Amino acid sequence: MLTLSMNRSSSALAFVAVNLISMLTWGQVKLSIEQIKKITVQTTVAGMRTGNSESFEIVSEAGQWKSFRTIKDSSGFGLQAQKNTTYKLLGILPPADVGDLLNCITHTKTGINSSTFDLNPKRLISELKSGAKIPISEAPDFDKLISQTIIDEAVAKTVIKMDIMDYLTFCEVDIISKRNDTIKVTSRNMCPTKLPWTINNKISYDMGINKFIEAAAGNENIPNKELLNVNSLKAAIFKYIDDHNADEPISTFRWHYYYPYTLGILRQHFSIQKKLQYENVYSCILKTSKMPSNAVIYANIDMASMKDVGMLVQYAALIDHYFEGNNFVLKYYRNVPKAHIGFPFEAYHSPYSSTRSLKRSLPELADVDSTQSISFYASEPDDTSQWTIYSGNMVLLRYHSITTPHGETAPIFPPVDPKLNWSARTDHYYLFDGTGKVLREGDRLY
């Protein structure tokens, strides 16, 4: 029960009013562990295709606080529909973890101080050096780069002054008492650590809430897990330092000493034109020896992932295979002055273009092997276009825009009525065979 002093002679109306106040007024919220019925957590990341949401609840069973992932599904239709919930055990929490969470609710931390994140130059420098996988022969002057002043500046910029929020990307912890009163702890912030939390309309910069969510999630890869961890703030501090130094000393140091094996593989297969970094993900412009001068791969690579690097090497070999062939699109753009061909590669995602959603519009692709596809954009002075080449040399033009004053198309495109408006030209798709013959066209891909 919430610790509220109630006179037995109070009216039912007063009881309801006080009970409501107990849920909304910070100063009156005080719970002991024995008063808790359960704790629920929901963490969500928004996105049309990459959005994800997970829920789990923590309940006391036989003297143990158990954390369960809740999985909800529906069966049947209309009035006969039934919602089912299954539970997956994530782990068992010590009562002290629940007690620490309740302490976070009772005692707010309205500001940030040196103990909030426990980050100091000595700790950050030690962690940077300990991450090296090979002996360090040359390192930047870390003592000069990483001072407490710099750390405080980075925290102020990336946490305190970062007011980017997304109402569809959030974490929420609901503490439910045995009287079914609920205390809501929420954050919709997009900054590292997602601080501050809002607790009954009061803010709190308390990493204890983050630690509780991480403990309750166990090994489950939940949405916002990386952002909740203090390591996200460390990465932001290192990026802040790199942004203020032209030679990007932190990411350059990590590039050379953290990933000797994957870096060796990249150097074996590519020339590396440029690199930027956030945590383990580097943005690189890569080229194989077989690519024409106007073609590159724009790759976001998790350098700590052999799977990522291996997939990139395999994809690049497929790109080379198509350049060595006689595909009309690649043949055209590789020989156009000032044309550019770019192949995207995104960490943690397959680079291959699935045909699953296209088979209704394009039955010709029903039997193709999507793992033999490459996707790219091409540009030249009067057009920009996006393409996918499939096995059998079939080519899908997904998008093209004409930027010349009179709406001329490049020779590669089928004739277009210049009276059509711009959106009609850009939305129209074409499926070609390997010689450039149109197999099918339309205004929308299903």
* Domain annotation covers residue 198: yes
The last residue of one of the domains, among 229, 249, 267, is: 229
* pLDDT reported for residue 406: 55
* Judgement on whether residues 199 and 330 belong to the same structural domain of the protein: no
- Does residue 294 sit in the same domain as residue 221? no
Residues 359 and 433 in one domain: yes
Do the domain assignments include residue 278? yes
Q: What is each CA distance from 214 to 69, 112, 424, 434, in whole angstroms?
A: 13, 21, 49, 52
Task: Please write the tens of the pLDDT for every residue from 109-159.
Answer: 999 987 899 999 999 999 999 999 999 999 999 999 999 999 999 999 999
For residue 83, pLDDT over 50 is answered with yes
Same domain, 310 and 423: yes
Same domain, 192 and 286: no
- On whether residue 1 sits in a domain, the answer given is no
Contact 104, 204 (CB under 8 A): yes
What is the Cβ-side half-sphere exposure of residue 355, based on CA atoms within 13 angstroms? 24
**Of 47 and 15, more confident:** 47
Query: Is 146 contained in some domain?
Result: yes
Chosen domain end from 229, 248, 273: 229
Q: Is the pTM of this model over 0.85?
A: no
- Pair 276, 152 in one domain: no
> pLDDT of 236-278, one tens digit each?
999 999 999 999 999 999 999 999 999 999 999 999 988 888 8
For residue 426, the Cα-to-chain-centroid distance in whole angstroms is: 29
Residue 419 has a pLDDT of 62
Residue 16 has pLDDT above 80, yes or no: no
Position 424 scores a pLDDT of: 53
Mean pLDDT computed over 45-63: 83
Query: Cis peptide before 260, with omega less than 30 degrees from 0?
Result: no
Indicate if 269 and 225 belong to the same structural domain.
no
Report the candidate in 369, 361, 322, 362 with the shortest Cα–Cα distance to residue 341: 322
Query: Does one domain contain both 139 and 205?
Result: yes
**pLDDT tops 60 at residue 339:** yes
Q: Do 216 and 306 belong together in one domain?
A: no
Domain around 85: 31-119+131-229
Same domain? For 341 and 388 the reply is yes
For the chain, the domain total comes to 2
| 85 occurs within a structural domain | yes
Residue 25 has pLDDT above 70, yes or no: no
Each residue's pLDDT tens digit, 374-399: 999 998 877 788 999 999 899 999 88
Residues 352 and 393 in one domain: yes
**Residue 34 half-sphere exposure toward CB, CA atoms < 13 A:** 2
pLDDT band at 24 (very low <50, low <70, confident <90, very high): very low
Let me know if residue 67 belongs to a domain. yes
